[in-house]
Amino acid sequence: MARQVIYVLSHGTKWKVQCDHCKDEPIKDTQADAIKVAKKHVGELPAGTLSEIRVQGKDGKWQTEWTYGKDPFPPPG
């Protein structure tokens, strides 16, 4: 099963949430508000779905990454 990735991206002075299943999400004023929306989308996925939130900083570099669900790494054994 493919990992569902939700991005929190810098959009000028504002923030946007982007993913395959979160279409037409309004632009947010703060990064914290965008992260709340991203977490809401993770909560709407079926239980156990491997998903991830990736947060971009104002400088365009990735700051944070959260993984949810049954991560296959490390492998058993």
The model's pTM is 0.84
Compute φ and ψ for 47, nearest 5 degrees: -55, 135
| pLDDT tens-digit readout, 36-59 | 999 999 998 888 889 999 999 999
Question: For the chain, percent helix, then strand, then coil, each to nearest 5?
Answer: 20, 35, 45
Residue 71 has pLDDT above 80, yes or no: no
Report helix, strand or coil for 16.
Answer: strand
Q: How much is the pLDDT for 1?
A: 56
Total Cβ atoms within 10 A of residue 67: 14
- Quote the percentage of the chain above a pLDDT of 90: 57
What's the rounded mean pLDDT across residues 10-17?
A: 94
